Structure 1
Amino acid sequence: MMYTIWRVVGITIGVTAVVGVVVGSLTWGILANRGPPPPELKPLDWWEHTVIYQIYPRSFKDSDGDGIGDLKGISTQLDHLVDIGIGAIWMSPIFVSPMVDFGYDISDFYNIQAEYGTMADFEELVKKAHDLGIKILLDYVPNHASDQSEYFKRSLAREPGYENFFVWADPIIDPNNASNRLVPSNWISEFGGSVWEWSEIRQQYYLHQFAKEQVDFNFRDPAVRNEMLNIMKYWFEKGADGYRLDAVVHLFEADPNDHGGVYPDEPLSGNMFLNPDQAGYTTQEYTKHLIELYDVLYDWREFADGWKDENNSETKILLAEAYANITMTMLYYGVEGGRDGAHFPFNFELINSLSAKSSARDFVYVIKRWLTYMPSGRVANWVFGNHDKNRMPSRFRTNMVDGLNSLSMLLPGVAITYQGEEIGMRDGYVSWEDTVDVAACNQGNPDNYLEYSRDPARTPFHWDNTTNAGFSTNSTTWLPIALDYTEINLKAQKEAKRSHYKVYKSLISLRKQPALSHGSYHIQALSENTFILIRHLITHDTYALLFNVGSEDDTVDLDNVTLLREPLTVYASSVHSSRVDGDTVPWGERGRVTLQAGEAIVLRAPPT
């Protein structure tokens, strides 16, 4: 009897379970057919998914015919930036400067360089940009000042309050000749030669990590730190929306108090390809990336956030120029569970680690590396060029322009464009006679100067095919116009049926899609030459970039890419691609797709 009862109970339980499964299946089937509710999208701060456009003011647009770009020139071309969808512009330094390093040697941090315009011109630019919805970021150079600055003149005279504003050091007496003075250490400047320069007036050496006219502040002096905040506050009040913080890896050098009262020599790096007067010949362990600099950066973030709260303004952002190893670079974001740092350090991995010889696996590794190391909750950024590096098409290949721009725009976070990348501008030729870059002049000669020169990446913007590419009405320009301006210019690309400009513009427009602003990412190499980047978000269209970074045609298999569903429609494609917007891309036999060398296609797929 007991056995029968248990069988009945068992049958009863079994039936209930089956009914539950059936009902659950029916319910899920109904929900699946209706589709899940769309996810609630978290509002983003203005900077978290924007596109930042770097302007090198001398080379953007000349409004007064002197051959040098200026602030009014920028104001006249803001419509171009609105047209392509830029959210913020970052201008290289516009402050008063003797122009030894073209603005990175500032003599007056509170005023505008005369050849760029006036304070009224700056205020007009800020107002016009803000009215158009564009933020203004300034290039702030806290590491050093010009030797023509009042700061240095007062420190040179040992004026009270300025005695220790810069890094001063007594000479070392030559043990073999008491009348011979020796430099305090073997440290080497980034522009070549010793970092130490003798001052007859003060009878001491001063430190300069760059040109001898760029004197390093002493950040162990509280007066220096306070003045840096004063400068930041001044330009916030003028309407600046944030700063790109230049050369912050150099803010501190080894403290002689920690080394027996002397500046310690650095070990040799062992790099046999460098001369004894070139940066990198020593390890630079006492001149870069000292841990003390992070606290200063965190103080600046606290100040910027405090100013925002006190003035009920939008977020003021800080972006750190930080060439460092991946671990040290991530500290610029701040400390997890602790203080915040920069809103992001510039991601130079795409510049430093990739080239025309890189494979698809190299691209995937470099991208995943940044996103893996990046602290939780932070925002990534992607940079392919700037005023210090060869232009993007010149470092890679010209047929990769649209693919590289597509990659920058489809990756999560902030995209950063150096002026001219939207039209595929290449390095211009600058002869030795026309070279003005202090790095090349200090280290180069007529045979090798291009190894050091940054001038080719700084030649003026190509607006059209008229004289001087529409940059200036002057007969000459501060740097020569690149010879290919009649072929590569904005006007021609606006008029062409297909162009880099039109691809670029469509890519920025695509960034408004929720899958790109809020979605997840998946990236993988499909072969040695081709990789796929997928951006997806439940209930929203999926977008994928297929990019052949190789120099030959490549056929890849999409069968194992589970996040894609047919039909696949072309949203954008490289200008040399046979595929055009709106085309359907059939997977073909076993899901195989062939791409030409350098070809990139951005695909739209149904929600996953």
Structure 2
Amino acid sequence: MNPSTPWWSSSVVYQVYPRSFADSDGDGYGDVRGIIDHLDHIAGLGVDVVWLSPIFASPQDDNGYDIADYQAIDPMFGTLADVDELTEAVHARGMKLVMDLVVNHTSDEHAWFVESRDPASPKRDWYVWRPARDGFEPGTPGAEPTNWGSFFGGSGWAFDEASGEYYLHLFSRKQPDLNWENPEVRQAVYAMMRWWIDRGVDGFRMDVINLISKTHPLADGAVNPGDPYSFEIERVANGPRLVEFLEEMNREVGITEKRLFTVGEMVACDLEHAREYTAREHDRLGMVFTFEHVSLDHAGGKLSPIPLHLPDLKKNLARWQEGLAEDGWNSLYFENHDQPRSVSRFGDDSPEHRVASAKALATVLHLHQGTPYVYQGQEIGMTNAGFTRIDQYRDIEAVGMHRQALEAGVPEEQVLAGLGAMGRDNARTPMPWTPEGGFTTGTPWLPLNATTASVNVADDVADPDGVYAHYRRLIALRRELEVVRMGAFELLLPEDEKLWVFTRTLGDERLLVVANMSSHAARVPLAELPSIEDAELLVASVHPGTDLQTLAPWDARVYRLRA
């Protein structure tokens, strides 16, 4: 690898959702000690980075993304001493540790916000406070300072009776937005980041980081008919000072100098913005998470899923491959704590095809250029939760969507079908370590996945042809071959509705990836592809056959072509 190439461009990341990973004390919630106990499972994959979703002190209104103290660990998860031990254990296994950085907002129970509620406090301006709209009585309908909506539904403003003003919350009302226009806020955030780096943390995944710069002055946005609230995203995302804030953060924290890992989660981030934020000549971000490819299979929100048109997904990822090939870097993911399980979403989670489709999805994703992310359970082909009742859900977003949809007259059957396909709790069911569960000796905080008896770590890891073993092969291939890490990407057969075909080329080395992304056999138009005569088959998701004329369902292959 070129010495100037960032280390994380050859890395694979494993995301841990701590409350659902492993419970060491029987209280039903995963914890840091549970992660330590199962680190060898993660290290066994060959990954380089472990990313933890938030474990900070929190009222848990949004499962820890509402932070009350950035420098304390929630007792649910353990202690700072536990985290220090985890950091050492991760490093001892040759991996790096990345923490979640949630600084667009805090909890309303954070000391900063508690003090901010006093209009006379020096911290009043640490959050976004505004008086009622002119001509309206504070606290009455329509009096909100603007018509902005919350991502979790309803108004994005909450009225504070004690001070007579409103505060902005783009998410839950218990998640007030910080005012990044205030330099004191920024310096407090940077000091906190340095504190964690001094404890051995190797970088940060930055939650909704492109929302920290809003367009000022705050003003009403356009609304759709029948919707009183605006989601004119340009007013809250990719704001005019975002690049300035990212560069200041990088400089003040020493991100480039210390070679720290950074990835920014960014809503409404197009290719042009991604290049701007990750351009190699600037010190901003290492890479970004975007949402385009995971927005192709629903229309009008999560409750309205539509069938995926494979050419759309292929061409979307190809556009990002080409767009960031020379300037920037791709993050590669199909799953995380906010997305449903990919084998249920993009594959086939039936008993007949689950394993093969999980392996095929892994193959095409890991053979793209970028940094792949493996979300806990993805490496064993976990499916969606199988929930059928709203009382099985715990996610604030799901519960709110259900309530609002019913109030709007949407049939509950339709609401539950939408949540069953797209709800965030699909990815948050406890990790099934054994056929009996193995996550906790107590009652799990979220019901176990309905497939636990047949889809679990013990069974899959023991299978030499299982999903875990396939991920190990793919990760080893990335480590072994520079063409996987850095080769140029070219999509072939872009309009084919079953086949996902592309090449990766670096110098004289060329790989051909051919995958049947359907549950039916597929004929391959060999005349339209590079010749595989004398090619070496490196990876196969179904069987190591050499015949490429007809591919079995979910058969994905990687060939090294003859020079």
Please say whether Structure 1 and Structure 2 have the same fold, judged by a TM-score greater than 0.5.
yes
Task: Tell whether the 8 Å contact from 2:269 to 2:291 is kept in structure 1 after alignment.
Answer: no
**TM-fit CA distance, 1:407:** 1.3
Query: Aligned pair 1:456/2:426, yes or no?
Result: yes
1:504 is paired with a residue whose SS is helix
1:570 is paired with a residue whose SS is strand
Q: Which amino acid aligns with 2:402?
A: G
Instruction: Choose the corresponding residue for 1:426, options 354, 372, 383.
Output: 383
Task: Tell whether the 8 Å contact from 1:351 to 1:383 is kept in structure 2 after alignment.
Answer: no
Instruction: Choose the corresponding residue for 2:398, options 440, 455, 473.
Output: 440
Larger Rg belongs to: 1
CA distance in 1, matches of 2:65, 2:234: 24
CA distance in 1, matches of 2:203, 2:488: 28
CA distance in 2, matches of 1:197, 1:178: 11
Task: Tell whether the 8 Å contact from 1:322 to 1:329 is kept in structure 2 after alignment.
Answer: no
Q: What does residue 138 of structure 1 align with?
A: 99
Range with greater deviation from structure 2 (104-113 or 404-413) = 404-413
Task: Tell whether the 8 Å contact from 2:56 to 2:70 is kept in structure 1 after alignment.
Answer: yes
**TM-fit CA distance, 1:539:** 5.3
**TM-fit CA distance, 1:424:** 0.7
TM-score by length of 2: 0.88
CA distance in 2, matches of 1:518, 1:443: 42
**TM-fit CA distance, 1:408:** 1.6
Q: Which amino acid aligns with 1:411?
A: H
CA distance in 2, matches of 1:238, 1:269: 48
CA distance in 1, matches of 2:417, 2:528: 46
Deviations 1:405-438 (A, max 9, x none): 0112111121111111111101113432232211
Task: Tell whether the 8 Å contact from 1:41 to 1:518 is kept in structure 2 after alignment.
Answer: no
Query: Aligned pair 1:214/2:171, yes or no?
Result: no
Gap regions ≥5 residues in structure 1:
1-39, 257-262, 588-592
Q: What does residue 88 of structure 1 align with?
A: 49
Range with greater deviation from structure 2 (356-365 or 94-103) = 356-365
Query: Aligned pair 1:382/2:325, yes or no?
Result: no
Matches within 5 A, 1:19-418: 44-158=5-119, 160-174=121-135, 182-256=143-217, 263-269=218-224, 276=227, 282-304=231-253, 306=254, 309=257, 313=258, 315-331=259-275, 333-334=277-278, 339-353=282-296, 357-359=307-309, 361-374=311-324, 376-398=326-348, 399=353, 400-418=357-375
Q: What does residue 561 of structure 2 align with?
A: 605
CA distance in 1, matches of 2:396, 2:489: 42
Deviations 1:340-363 (A, max 9, x none): 321011143432236994455334
**TM-fit CA distance, 1:44:** 4.2
Q: Which amino acid aligns with 2:379?
A: E
The alignment covers a number of residue pairs equal to 533
Task: Tell whether the 8 Å contact from 2:146 to 2:219 is kept in structure 1 after alignment.
Answer: yes
1:531 is paired with a residue whose SS is strand
RMSD: 2.5
Task: Tell whether the 8 Å contact from 1:242 to 1:317 is kept in structure 2 after alignment.
Answer: yes
CA change 1:444–1:218 in 2 (3 A) is same
Identity %: 29
Query: Aligned pair 1:546/2:514, yes or no?
Result: yes
Gap regions ≥5 residues in structure 2:
299-305, 407-411
1:54 is paired with a residue whose SS is strand
Query: Aligned pair 1:530/2:499, yes or no?
Result: yes
CA change 1:449–1:298 in 2 (3 A) is farther
Query: Aligned pair 1:555/2:523, yes or no?
Result: yes
Q: Which amino acid aligns with 1:254?
A: T
Deviations 1:21-73 (A, max 9, x none): xxxxxxxxxxxxxxxxxxx8657432111111111000011111111101111
Q: Which amino acid aligns with 1:594?
A: T
CA change 1:586–1:454 in 2 (3 A) is closer
Deviations 1:471-505 (A, max 9, x none): 1111x100010011111111111222421111111
2:106 is paired with a residue whose SS is strand
TM-score by length of 1: 0.82
CA distance in 1, matches of 2:328, 2:47: 22
1:58 is paired with a residue whose SS is helix
